[in-house]
Structure 1
Protein backbone atom coordinates (compact mmCIF):
# COMPACT_ATOMS: atom_id res chain seq x y z
CA UNK A 1 0.00 0.00 0.00
CA UNK A 2 2.78 2.44 0.92
CA UNK A 3 4.62 1.63 -2.30
CA UNK A 4 1.53 2.37 -4.40
CA UNK A 5 0.99 5.63 -2.54
CA UNK A 6 4.56 6.81 -3.11
CA UNK A 7 4.42 5.94 -6.81
CA UNK A 8 1.08 7.73 -7.20
CA UNK A 9 2.44 10.88 -5.53
CA UNK A 10 5.48 10.98 -7.82
CA UNK A 11 3.51 10.33 -11.02
CA UNK A 12 0.94 12.99 -10.18
CA UNK A 13 3.70 15.55 -9.60
CA UNK A 14 5.45 14.68 -12.84
CA UNK A 15 2.36 14.54 -15.09
CA UNK A 16 0.87 17.79 -13.82
CA UNK A 17 4.24 19.55 -14.04
CA UNK A 18 4.43 18.94 -17.76
CA UNK A 19 0.88 20.28 -18.20
CA UNK A 20 1.72 23.67 -16.64
CA UNK A 21 4.21 25.00 -19.19
CA UNK A 22 3.01 28.61 -18.83
CA UNK A 23 3.43 28.97 -15.07
CA UNK A 24 5.78 31.97 -15.39
CA UNK A 25 4.18 33.54 -18.46
CA UNK A 26 2.72 36.41 -16.41
CA UNK A 27 6.10 37.60 -15.14
CA UNK A 28 6.38 40.36 -17.73
CA UNK A 29 3.29 42.03 -16.25
CA UNK A 30 4.77 42.01 -12.73
CA UNK A 31 4.71 45.04 -10.45
CA UNK A 32 7.41 45.68 -7.87
CA UNK A 33 5.37 44.31 -4.95
CA UNK A 34 5.19 40.91 -6.71
CA UNK A 35 8.93 40.36 -6.82
CA UNK A 36 9.82 39.55 -3.20
CA UNK A 37 7.08 36.91 -2.69
CA UNK A 38 7.86 35.46 -6.12
CA UNK A 39 11.52 35.13 -5.11
CA UNK A 40 10.51 33.23 -1.97
CA UNK A 41 8.12 30.99 -3.90
CA UNK A 42 10.74 29.94 -6.45
CA UNK A 43 13.54 29.75 -3.90
CA UNK A 44 11.56 27.21 -1.91
CA UNK A 45 11.32 24.93 -4.94
CA UNK A 46 14.98 25.33 -5.89
CA UNK A 47 16.01 24.27 -2.38
CA UNK A 48 14.12 20.99 -2.71
CA UNK A 49 15.35 17.51 -3.55
CA UNK A 50 18.84 17.73 -2.04
CA UNK A 51 18.38 14.73 0.27
CA UNK A 52 16.23 11.66 0.90
CA UNK A 53 18.44 10.16 3.62
CA UNK A 54 21.25 11.24 5.93
CA UNK A 55 23.40 8.25 4.93
CA UNK A 56 26.46 9.04 2.82
CA UNK A 57 26.81 7.05 -0.40
CA UNK A 58 30.28 5.84 0.52
CA UNK A 59 33.34 5.90 -1.73
CA UNK A 60 32.37 5.17 -5.39
CA UNK A 61 28.67 4.95 -4.50
CA UNK A 62 26.25 6.31 -7.10
CA UNK A 63 22.72 7.74 -7.17
CA UNK A 64 20.81 8.86 -10.27
CA UNK A 65 17.16 9.79 -10.52
CA UNK A 66 14.32 12.18 -11.21
CA UNK A 67 13.12 14.84 -8.81
CA UNK A 68 9.97 16.96 -8.68
CA UNK A 69 8.87 19.67 -6.25
CA UNK A 70 5.42 21.25 -5.99
CA UNK A 71 4.21 24.17 -3.92
CA UNK A 72 0.50 23.96 -3.20
CA UNK A 73 -0.16 27.67 -3.79
CA UNK A 74 1.90 30.87 -4.09
CA UNK A 75 2.11 33.55 -1.45
CA UNK A 76 -0.93 35.82 -1.32
CA UNK A 77 1.04 38.86 -2.48
CA UNK A 78 2.62 37.03 -5.43
CA UNK A 79 0.68 38.34 -8.42
CA UNK A 80 2.87 36.55 -10.97
CA UNK A 81 1.87 32.95 -10.28
CA UNK A 82 -1.77 31.96 -10.55
CA UNK A 83 -3.60 32.52 -7.27
CA UNK A 84 -4.46 29.43 -5.16
CA UNK A 85 -2.97 27.09 -7.76
CA UNK A 86 -0.09 24.65 -7.33
CA UNK A 87 3.08 25.07 -9.39
CA UNK A 88 5.95 22.69 -10.05
CA UNK A 89 9.49 22.20 -11.28
CA UNK A 90 11.29 18.94 -12.09
CA UNK A 91 14.85 17.92 -12.87
CA UNK A 92 17.27 15.00 -13.04
CA UNK A 93 20.03 14.56 -10.49
CA UNK A 94 23.25 12.54 -10.37
CA UNK A 95 25.26 11.90 -7.21
CA UNK A 96 28.67 10.36 -6.52
CA UNK A 97 30.20 9.12 -3.28
CA UNK A 98 33.74 10.24 -2.47
CA UNK A 99 36.18 9.53 0.37
CA UNK A 100 35.62 10.78 3.92
CA UNK A 101 31.82 10.44 3.74
CA UNK A 102 31.51 13.26 1.20
CA UNK A 103 28.96 13.08 -1.63
CA UNK A 104 28.80 15.44 -4.62
CA UNK A 105 25.74 15.97 -6.84
CA UNK A 106 24.74 17.83 -9.98
CA UNK A 107 21.25 18.60 -11.30
CA UNK A 108 19.61 20.02 -14.37
CA UNK A 109 16.17 20.48 -15.90
CA UNK A 110 13.77 22.70 -17.81
CA UNK A 111 10.31 23.50 -16.43
CA UNK A 112 7.96 26.21 -17.75
CA UNK A 113 10.85 27.64 -19.85
CA UNK A 114 12.90 27.93 -16.65
CA UNK A 115 16.30 26.29 -17.20
CA UNK A 116 17.84 24.96 -14.00
CA UNK A 117 21.44 23.92 -13.37
CA UNK A 118 22.97 23.32 -9.98
CA UNK A 119 24.85 21.09 -7.65
CA UNK A 120 26.16 20.65 -4.17
CA UNK A 121 27.90 18.50 -1.61
CA UNK A 122 26.93 16.47 1.43
CA UNK A 123 29.00 15.42 4.43
CA UNK A 124 28.06 12.43 6.57
CA UNK A 125 28.75 13.52 10.14
CA UNK A 126 28.50 9.96 11.48
CA UNK A 127 30.10 6.84 10.02
CA UNK A 128 28.19 4.92 7.35
CA UNK A 129 26.10 2.09 8.81
CA UNK A 130 22.96 0.25 7.73
CA UNK A 131 22.33 -1.31 11.13
CA UNK A 132 18.57 -0.95 11.82
CA UNK A 133 17.88 1.89 14.22
CA UNK A 134 21.23 3.62 13.59
CA UNK A 135 20.95 7.42 13.63
CA UNK A 136 22.46 8.99 10.52
CA UNK A 137 23.37 12.70 10.43
CA UNK A 138 24.36 14.73 7.38
CA UNK A 139 25.12 18.32 6.41
CA UNK A 140 24.03 19.41 2.90
CA UNK A 141 24.99 22.48 0.88
CA UNK A 142 23.73 23.36 -2.61
CA UNK A 143 23.74 26.12 -5.22
CA UNK A 144 21.39 26.61 -8.18
CA UNK A 145 21.07 28.92 -11.16
CA UNK A 146 17.66 29.22 -12.84
CA UNK A 147 17.29 31.25 -16.04
CA UNK A 148 14.09 32.45 -17.75
CA UNK A 149 13.85 34.89 -20.65
CA UNK A 150 12.42 37.57 -18.28
CA UNK A 151 14.44 36.88 -15.11
CA UNK A 152 17.11 34.77 -13.53
CA UNK A 153 17.60 33.43 -10.01
CA UNK A 154 20.66 32.49 -7.99
CA UNK A 155 19.93 30.21 -5.03
CA UNK A 156 22.03 28.89 -2.16
CA UNK A 157 20.82 26.54 0.54
CA UNK A 158 21.92 24.29 3.36
CA UNK A 159 20.26 21.60 5.48
CA UNK A 160 21.07 19.53 8.55
CA UNK A 161 19.50 16.10 7.99
CA UNK A 162 18.71 13.13 10.24
CA UNK A 163 17.50 9.66 9.26
CA UNK A 164 17.03 6.28 10.91
CA UNK A 165 18.55 3.25 9.18
CA UNK A 166 16.05 0.54 8.28
CA UNK A 167 15.76 -2.35 5.86
CA UNK A 168 12.94 -0.98 3.69
CA UNK A 169 11.23 2.19 4.96
CA UNK A 170 13.52 5.01 6.09
CA UNK A 171 12.20 8.11 7.90
CA UNK A 172 14.15 11.35 7.62
CA UNK A 173 13.86 15.00 8.57
CA UNK A 174 15.85 18.14 7.92
CA UNK A 175 16.06 21.84 8.72
CA UNK A 176 17.84 24.51 6.75
CA UNK A 177 17.49 27.72 4.74
CA UNK A 178 17.01 29.15 1.25
CA UNK A 179 18.95 32.24 0.18
CA UNK A 180 17.55 33.50 -3.13
CA UNK A 181 18.47 36.40 -5.42
CA UNK A 182 16.05 37.38 -8.20
CA UNK A 183 17.22 39.63 -11.04
CA UNK A 184 14.68 41.07 -13.48
CA UNK A 185 15.83 40.95 -17.11
CA UNK A 186 12.74 42.50 -18.72
CA UNK A 187 9.20 43.52 -17.80
CA UNK A 188 6.38 45.68 -19.16
CA UNK A 189 7.35 48.19 -16.48
CA UNK A 190 10.76 49.21 -17.83
CA UNK A 191 11.75 50.59 -14.42
CA UNK A 192 11.95 47.01 -13.11
CA UNK A 193 14.68 45.94 -15.56
CA UNK A 194 17.81 45.17 -13.58
CA UNK A 195 15.93 45.15 -10.27
CA UNK A 196 17.50 42.82 -7.69
CA UNK A 197 15.52 41.17 -4.89
CA UNK A 198 17.16 39.05 -2.18
CA UNK A 199 15.29 36.82 0.27
CA UNK A 200 16.33 34.47 3.07
CA UNK A 201 13.89 31.93 4.53
CA UNK A 202 14.08 28.83 6.77
CA UNK A 203 12.77 25.44 5.63
CA UNK A 204 11.75 22.31 7.55
CA UNK A 205 11.26 18.89 5.95
CA UNK A 206 10.09 15.41 6.90
CA UNK A 207 9.83 12.39 4.63
CA UNK A 208 9.86 8.65 4.02
CA UNK A 209 11.93 6.63 1.58
CA UNK A 210 10.94 3.17 0.38
CA UNK A 211 13.94 1.26 -0.97
CA UNK A 212 14.83 -2.05 -2.55
CA UNK A 213 18.36 -3.31 -3.18
CA UNK A 214 19.12 -0.78 -5.93
CA UNK A 215 16.02 1.41 -6.38
CA UNK A 216 14.08 3.82 -4.21
CA UNK A 217 11.15 6.19 -4.14
CA UNK A 218 10.78 8.98 -1.60
CA UNK A 219 8.17 11.57 -0.66
CA UNK A 220 8.95 14.68 1.39
CA UNK A 221 6.77 17.35 2.94
CA UNK A 222 8.41 20.75 3.46
CA UNK A 223 7.34 23.96 5.16
CA UNK A 224 9.09 26.98 3.62
CA UNK A 225 8.10 30.66 3.96
CA UNK A 226 4.77 29.50 5.48
CA UNK A 227 3.94 27.43 2.38
CA UNK A 228 3.70 23.67 1.89
CA UNK A 229 5.97 22.00 -0.66
CA UNK A 230 5.70 18.34 -1.70
CA UNK A 231 8.82 16.68 -3.08
CA UNK A 232 9.10 13.40 -4.98
CA UNK A 233 12.26 11.39 -5.74
CA UNK A 234 12.65 8.24 -7.83
CA UNK A 235 15.94 6.64 -8.76
CA UNK A 236 18.64 4.02 -8.45
CA UNK A 237 21.33 3.96 -5.77
CA UNK A 238 24.25 1.63 -5.22
Structure 2
Protein backbone atom coordinates (compact mmCIF):
# COMPACT_ATOMS: atom_id res chain seq x y z
CA UNK A 1 0.00 0.00 0.00
CA UNK A 2 2.82 2.40 0.88
CA UNK A 3 4.54 1.78 -2.43
CA UNK A 4 1.28 2.42 -4.26
CA UNK A 5 0.86 5.82 -2.57
CA UNK A 6 4.45 6.75 -3.45
CA UNK A 7 3.79 5.84 -7.08
CA UNK A 8 0.56 7.86 -7.10
CA UNK A 9 2.38 10.89 -5.65
CA UNK A 10 5.18 10.65 -8.20
CA UNK A 11 2.69 10.26 -11.07
CA UNK A 12 0.72 13.25 -9.76
CA UNK A 13 3.87 15.38 -9.70
CA UNK A 14 4.71 14.33 -13.25
CA UNK A 15 1.14 15.16 -14.32
CA UNK A 16 1.36 18.63 -12.79
CA UNK A 17 4.65 19.24 -14.57
CA UNK A 18 3.15 18.04 -17.86
CA UNK A 19 0.18 20.37 -17.50
CA UNK A 20 2.23 23.47 -16.74
CA UNK A 21 5.13 22.71 -19.10
CA UNK A 22 3.59 24.62 -22.04
CA UNK A 23 2.96 27.66 -19.84
CA UNK A 24 6.43 27.50 -18.31
CA UNK A 25 8.03 27.40 -21.75
CA UNK A 26 7.64 31.19 -21.87
CA UNK A 27 6.96 34.11 -19.54
CA UNK A 28 3.47 33.47 -18.13
CA UNK A 29 3.23 37.08 -17.02
CA UNK A 30 4.79 38.60 -20.14
CA UNK A 31 1.40 39.87 -21.37
CA UNK A 32 0.88 42.21 -18.42
CA UNK A 33 1.76 45.41 -20.29
CA UNK A 34 -0.20 44.37 -23.37
CA UNK A 35 -3.41 43.07 -21.78
CA UNK A 36 -3.93 44.59 -18.34
CA UNK A 37 -6.80 47.05 -17.91
CA UNK A 38 -8.90 48.42 -15.08
CA UNK A 39 -11.19 45.39 -14.92
CA UNK A 40 -8.50 42.72 -15.05
CA UNK A 41 -6.01 44.12 -12.52
CA UNK A 42 -7.88 42.82 -9.47
CA UNK A 43 -8.48 39.26 -10.83
CA UNK A 44 -4.81 39.12 -11.82
CA UNK A 45 -3.83 40.13 -8.28
CA UNK A 46 -6.05 37.44 -6.76
CA UNK A 47 -4.61 34.75 -9.01
CA UNK A 48 -1.04 35.78 -8.25
CA UNK A 49 -1.73 35.76 -4.51
CA UNK A 50 -3.30 32.32 -4.61
CA UNK A 51 -0.10 30.90 -6.14
CA UNK A 52 2.24 32.79 -3.80
CA UNK A 53 0.37 31.41 -0.80
CA UNK A 54 0.66 27.81 -1.99
CA UNK A 55 3.04 25.17 -0.64
CA UNK A 56 4.10 27.15 2.43
CA UNK A 57 3.43 24.13 4.70
CA UNK A 58 3.17 20.35 4.54
CA UNK A 59 2.68 19.39 8.19
CA UNK A 60 1.15 20.62 11.42
CA UNK A 61 4.22 19.52 13.37
CA UNK A 62 7.03 22.00 14.07
CA UNK A 63 10.62 21.10 13.28
CA UNK A 64 11.74 21.51 16.86
CA UNK A 65 14.74 23.49 18.04
CA UNK A 66 17.74 23.04 15.69
CA UNK A 67 15.67 21.02 13.20
CA UNK A 68 16.33 21.67 9.52
CA UNK A 69 14.33 21.26 6.31
CA UNK A 70 15.31 22.13 2.74
CA UNK A 71 13.45 21.32 -0.45
CA UNK A 72 11.76 22.33 -3.68
CA UNK A 73 8.12 23.47 -3.73
CA UNK A 74 5.63 24.25 -6.46
CA UNK A 75 2.18 25.83 -6.67
CA UNK A 76 -0.20 25.40 -9.62
CA UNK A 77 -3.55 26.88 -10.62
CA UNK A 78 -5.56 24.95 -13.20
CA UNK A 79 -6.87 28.08 -14.91
CA UNK A 80 -6.91 31.86 -14.46
CA UNK A 81 -9.94 33.73 -13.12
CA UNK A 82 -12.49 34.36 -15.87
CA UNK A 83 -11.75 38.11 -15.80
CA UNK A 84 -7.96 37.77 -15.68
CA UNK A 85 -7.25 39.05 -19.19
CA UNK A 86 -3.52 39.32 -18.47
CA UNK A 87 -3.22 35.54 -18.57
CA UNK A 88 -6.29 34.53 -20.59
CA UNK A 89 -5.65 36.88 -23.53
CA UNK A 90 -2.08 35.63 -23.64
CA UNK A 91 -3.35 32.08 -23.97
CA UNK A 92 -2.14 30.93 -20.55
CA UNK A 93 -4.18 28.08 -19.11
CA UNK A 94 -2.62 26.32 -16.14
CA UNK A 95 -0.03 28.51 -14.44
CA UNK A 96 2.23 28.25 -11.44
CA UNK A 97 5.52 28.97 -9.73
CA UNK A 98 8.38 26.93 -8.23
CA UNK A 99 10.46 27.78 -5.15
CA UNK A 100 13.47 26.67 -3.22
CA UNK A 101 12.68 26.72 0.50
CA UNK A 102 14.84 26.31 3.62
CA UNK A 103 13.47 26.00 7.17
CA UNK A 104 14.99 25.92 10.63
CA UNK A 105 13.59 25.07 14.06
CA UNK A 106 13.75 27.86 16.65
CA UNK A 107 13.12 28.05 20.40
CA UNK A 108 9.63 28.58 21.85
CA UNK A 109 7.97 26.16 19.38
CA UNK A 110 8.77 28.44 16.44
CA UNK A 111 9.96 27.57 12.93
CA UNK A 112 11.38 30.10 10.50
CA UNK A 113 11.81 29.72 6.77
CA UNK A 114 12.97 31.54 3.66
CA UNK A 115 12.08 30.85 0.04
CA UNK A 116 12.77 32.38 -3.34
CA UNK A 117 13.22 32.00 -7.06
CA UNK A 118 14.18 33.97 -10.15
CA UNK A 119 11.87 32.64 -12.84
CA UNK A 120 10.48 33.92 -16.17
CA UNK A 121 11.22 37.56 -15.45
CA UNK A 122 9.99 37.33 -11.85
CA UNK A 123 12.21 37.68 -8.81
CA UNK A 124 10.50 36.42 -5.67
CA UNK A 125 11.86 36.58 -2.14
CA UNK A 126 9.81 35.41 0.80
CA UNK A 127 9.70 33.74 4.16
CA UNK A 128 7.70 33.34 7.29
CA UNK A 129 7.22 31.99 10.78
CA UNK A 130 5.23 29.11 12.20
CA UNK A 131 4.21 28.62 15.82
CA UNK A 132 3.10 25.30 17.28
CA UNK A 133 -0.08 25.74 19.28
CA UNK A 134 0.74 22.67 21.37
CA UNK A 135 3.99 20.90 22.22
CA UNK A 136 5.13 18.60 19.43
CA UNK A 137 4.80 14.86 19.97
CA UNK A 138 5.70 11.96 17.72
CA UNK A 139 2.92 9.62 18.80
CA UNK A 140 0.70 8.37 15.96
CA UNK A 141 -2.84 9.70 15.60
CA UNK A 142 -2.19 12.72 17.82
CA UNK A 143 -3.30 15.97 16.11
CA UNK A 144 -0.68 18.70 15.64
CA UNK A 145 -1.55 22.37 15.08
CA UNK A 146 0.43 25.29 13.67
CA UNK A 147 -0.31 28.96 13.17
CA UNK A 148 1.72 30.20 10.20
CA UNK A 149 2.52 33.59 8.68
CA UNK A 150 4.17 34.14 5.30
CA UNK A 151 5.25 37.13 3.22
CA UNK A 152 6.63 37.64 -0.29
CA UNK A 153 8.08 40.45 -2.38
CA UNK A 154 7.75 40.15 -6.17
CA UNK A 155 9.52 42.15 -8.86
CA UNK A 156 8.74 42.03 -12.59
CA UNK A 157 9.69 44.51 -15.30
CA UNK A 158 6.02 45.56 -15.62
CA UNK A 159 4.73 45.29 -12.04
CA UNK A 160 5.67 44.71 -8.43
CA UNK A 161 3.71 42.82 -5.80
CA UNK A 162 3.65 42.07 -2.10
CA UNK A 163 1.89 39.17 -0.43
CA UNK A 164 1.01 38.29 3.15
CA UNK A 165 -0.60 35.02 4.19
CA UNK A 166 -1.97 33.62 7.43
CA UNK A 167 -2.81 29.93 7.91
CA UNK A 168 -4.05 27.54 10.56
CA UNK A 169 -2.69 24.05 9.87
CA UNK A 170 -3.47 20.66 11.34
CA UNK A 171 -1.97 17.24 10.65
CA UNK A 172 -2.06 13.76 12.12
CA UNK A 173 0.53 11.04 11.58
CA UNK A 174 -0.91 7.71 10.48
CA UNK A 175 2.04 5.39 10.07
CA UNK A 176 3.86 6.15 6.81
CA UNK A 177 1.40 8.89 5.79
CA UNK A 178 0.58 12.26 7.33
CA UNK A 179 -2.62 13.95 6.11
CA UNK A 180 -2.67 17.71 6.61
CA UNK A 181 -5.27 20.44 6.30
CA UNK A 182 -5.03 24.21 6.22
CA UNK A 183 -7.36 27.18 6.19
CA UNK A 184 -6.06 30.68 5.64
CA UNK A 185 -6.13 33.90 3.68
CA UNK A 186 -3.89 35.70 1.19
CA UNK A 187 -3.62 39.49 1.06
CA UNK A 188 -1.90 40.64 -2.12
CA UNK A 189 -1.05 44.06 -3.57
CA UNK A 190 0.04 44.65 -7.18
CA UNK A 191 1.47 47.97 -8.40
CA UNK A 192 1.61 48.76 -12.13
CA UNK A 193 5.18 49.76 -13.14
CA UNK A 194 4.63 50.14 -16.90
CA UNK A 195 2.44 52.11 -19.30
CA UNK A 196 -0.27 49.57 -20.23
CA UNK A 197 -1.26 49.43 -23.88
CA UNK A 198 -5.00 49.21 -23.17
CA UNK A 199 -5.12 51.91 -20.49
CA UNK A 200 -2.04 54.15 -20.15
CA UNK A 201 -3.67 55.86 -17.15
CA UNK A 202 -3.06 52.72 -15.08
CA UNK A 203 0.65 53.50 -14.72
CA UNK A 204 1.36 53.69 -10.99
CA UNK A 205 -2.05 52.29 -10.06
CA UNK A 206 -2.33 49.61 -7.38
CA UNK A 207 -4.94 47.22 -6.10
CA UNK A 208 -5.18 44.96 -3.06
CA UNK A 209 -7.16 41.75 -2.66
CA UNK A 210 -7.86 39.45 0.27
CA UNK A 211 -8.93 35.90 -0.50
CA UNK A 212 -9.48 32.77 1.62
CA UNK A 213 -7.64 29.56 0.75
CA UNK A 214 -8.30 25.95 1.74
CA UNK A 215 -5.76 23.12 1.53
CA UNK A 216 -6.01 19.35 1.94
CA UNK A 217 -3.06 17.08 1.29
CA UNK A 218 -0.71 14.43 2.59
CA UNK A 219 3.00 13.83 2.96
CA UNK A 220 4.93 10.58 3.01
CA UNK A 221 8.47 9.54 3.87
CA UNK A 222 9.91 6.94 1.50
CA UNK A 223 13.19 7.28 3.40
CA UNK A 224 13.94 8.38 6.96
CA UNK A 225 14.89 11.95 6.09
CA UNK A 226 13.24 12.33 2.68
CA UNK A 227 9.61 13.37 2.24
CA UNK A 228 7.19 14.02 -0.59
CA UNK A 229 3.98 15.99 -0.31
CA UNK A 230 1.02 16.93 -2.49
CA UNK A 231 -2.17 18.88 -1.81
CA UNK A 232 -5.36 20.14 -3.39
CA UNK A 233 -6.04 23.84 -2.89
CA UNK A 234 -9.06 26.00 -3.61
CA UNK A 235 -10.39 29.50 -2.97
CA UNK A 236 -13.82 31.00 -2.37
CA UNK A 237 -14.46 31.27 -6.14
CA UNK A 238 -13.38 27.65 -6.73
CA UNK A 239 -10.06 28.62 -8.26
CA UNK A 240 -8.68 25.11 -7.88
CA UNK A 241 -5.08 24.03 -7.96
CA UNK A 242 -2.39 21.81 -6.54
CA UNK A 243 0.83 22.16 -4.61
CA UNK A 244 3.63 19.65 -4.24
CA UNK A 245 7.21 19.33 -3.11
CA UNK A 246 10.11 17.16 -2.14
CA UNK A 247 12.67 17.76 0.57
CA UNK A 248 15.01 16.57 3.27
CA UNK A 249 13.98 17.03 6.90
CA UNK A 250 16.09 16.44 10.00
TM-score band (shorter)? over 0.9
SS in 2 for 1:191: helix
The one of 49, 57, 66 aligned to 1:51: 57
SS in 1 for 2:10: helix
**1:236: which partner in 2?**
248
Quick check: 1:13–1:69 contact (8 Å CA) kept in 2? no
**2:71: which partner in 1?**
65
Quick check: 1:13–1:88 contact (8 Å CA) kept in 2? no
**1:220: which partner in 2?**
231
Alignment of 1:1-238 (within 5 A): 1-14=4-17, 16-17=20-21, 19-29=24-34, 30-82=36-88, 85-186=93-194, 187-188=196-197, 189-211=199-221, 212-226=223-237, 227-238=239-250
Q: Deviations over 1:168-191 (max 9, x none)?
A: 100010100000000000022321
SS in 2 for 1:81: helix
**RMSD, aligned CA:** 1.5
Quick check: 1:71–1:88 contact (8 Å CA) kept in 2? yes
* TM-score computed with the length of structure 1 as normaliser: 0.96
Aligned pair count reads 238
| Structure 1 consecutive aligned stretches of length 4 or more whose deviation exceeds 4 Å | none
Quick check: 2:73–2:246 contact (8 Å CA) kept in 1? yes
Quick check: 1:21–1:111 contact (8 Å CA) kept in 2? no
Quick check: 1:123–1:139 contact (8 Å CA) kept in 2? yes
